[in-house]
Amino acid sequence: LVIRQAARKNHEIQHQASHDALTQLVNRKAFERRLEEAIFNAKETNKEHVLCYMDLDQFKIINDTCGHDAGDQLLINLSKLLDSKVRTNDTLGRLGGDEFGLLLENCSLANALEISEGIISLIKNYEFVWKDRIFPVGISIGLAHITNESKNIASVLSEADVACYAAKDMGRGRVHVHELKDEQVNKIHRELSWVANIETSLKDQRFKLYIQPIAPLDPTNKQTMFEVLLRLKDDDGNIISPGEYIPAAERFNLMRAVDVWVVAEVVKKIAEMQATNNSTPRLFVNLSANSIIDKSFCDYILELLQSYNIADYSICFEITETAAIKNIQQASIFMQELKNAHCLFALDDFGTGMSSFTYLKNLPVDYLKIDGSFVINMDKNTVDQAMVSAIHQIGCVMNIETIAEHAENETIMDHLRKIGVTYAQGYHIAKPVPIEELATIASMK
């Protein structure tokens, strides 16, 4: 009896060491050990295997909306669902958070694609119910082919992760295979290489700030405003588009360091102008989704404002509608604390979310930046005109000023004036210029 109890206890300890406590799936350490064996097997026997890297598409929304208990229950339910469908000789593991790994042994790439499509369909048809609410769930899958040419665990995991990111980048709820000649994968490799160099880029002063005017459409409005835009220079001095590195930097939680640098530079610029000028323009500063849920970042801004003693309402922070909606409670607290310190807030890309107007009631917003996709075709699309008008009317009722992005010609400007939109921003008004020109431009207005 004592021997049986000791054996059972030993088995339990071994199980706990190799399995995830929540889902009871194989944990990352044990999964990587199995992956290493598969790579060795491919080299020795010339057999092929496939690693599936799976990432849930709606997990964060459910977690933020319903709480961690709901998120945990969803992970448990999906783990059981997936485990019931995988082949007996395959390994399903939880790699962390809402990410899962599936090692398909002795499996061709074609067969792995078929299995992955089946998993996507399975998850798509699953409905998560929590307190009488039904939530749709999706999954994105990246595949890495394991052959006798595969290098090691790190490279195979990286290939599968990048392919999964490509699947999300292409619209989520799909499978993508890592192939060296794949344009989408190469794009993401480029993004990740920039991410790896973010700290170096900050140190080497490769980040540059530009400004673009936000012009009042009423000539009696004398408020001077500019949006601060972030640019990055590569080794050859070429300007890299933010779309090349910011999505990846946000995905890997690396934007906070950049946001810290941007806010500090902007505050210094305002303080510098205050020392030489009676009036300073209002500068709009973009914040990433990760920063607006970071209490320490909020405290950092408050300390910065106090130490430089900049004029009230000289900074307006821009946050995207998507980021605000995903973190509605934390975003609201962050915004209110900074509004108490006489900062302003603009909701960027407004109109693209499904429940824009509902969420708007809960956010202390001063400006709505109407998404440029509605504005850019206003000169030839009456539906877009109606959308812009509807957003502006909501802004009027809620005493929120509106800013139209992508005002690219005079016809669009005329439509905006007729609707009554407060401000416009776009190449028709002015292209971005280095922030060093701010004092000169502001003095001309």
Read off the pLDDT of residues 367-400 as tens digits, 9 standing for 90 and up.
999 988 899 999 999 999 999 999 999 899 999 9
| Higher per-residue pLDDT: 141 or 7 | 141
Question: Is the model more confident about 359 or about 224?
Answer: 224
d(CA 351, CA 370): 7
Mean of the per-residue pLDDT values for the chain? Answer: 85
Contact 137, 57 (CB under 8 A): yes
Q: What is the pLDDT of residues 65-108, one digit of tens each?
A: 788 888 899 999 999 988 888 888 899 999 888 899 999 999 88
Cα angle for residues 64, 65, 67 (degrees, 5° grid) = 65
Q: Are 284 and 270 in contact, with CB atoms under 8 Å apart? A: no
pLDDT band at 354 (very low <50, low <70, confident <90, very high): very low
State mean pLDDT over 174-202. Answer: 68
Q: Is 142 exposed, middle or buried (0-12, 13-18, 19+ CB in 10 A)?
A: buried
Mapped onto helix, strand or coil, the DSSP state of residue 18 is helix
- Mean pLDDT in residue range 122-130: 86
Residue 356 has pLDDT above 60, yes or no: no
Beta-carbon count within 10 A of 383 CB: 10
Diameter of the chain measured on Cα atoms: 92
Q: Which residue has the higher pLDDT, 328 or 346?
A: 346
Q: What is the pLDDT of residues 275-304, one digit of tens each?
A: 887 678 999 999 988 888 888 999 999 999
What pLDDT, on a 0 to 100 scale, did the predictor assign at position 168?
Answer: 84
Contacts (Cβ under 8 Å, ≥6 apart) of 135: 58, 61, 62, 66, 74, 127, 128, 129
Q: How confident is the model at residue 445 (pLDDT cuts 50, 70, 90)?
A: low
pLDDT recorded at residue 199: 66
Taking only the tens place, the pLDDT of each residue in 133-165 is 888 888 999 999 999 888 899 889 988 998 898
- pLDDT of 205 > 80? The answer is no
Judged by average pLDDT, the poorest of 13-27, 84-98, 411-425 is 13-27
In this prediction, residue 201 carries a pLDDT of 73
- The whole-angstrom separation of Cα 175 and Cα 134 is 25
Lowest mean pLDDT among 101-110, 353-362, 380-389, 420-429: 353-362
Q: Taking the CB of residue 360, how many other CB atoms lie within 10 A of it?
A: 21
216's CB contacts (< 8 A; 6+ apart) are: 222, 223, 422, 423
Percent of the chain with pLDDT over 70: 88
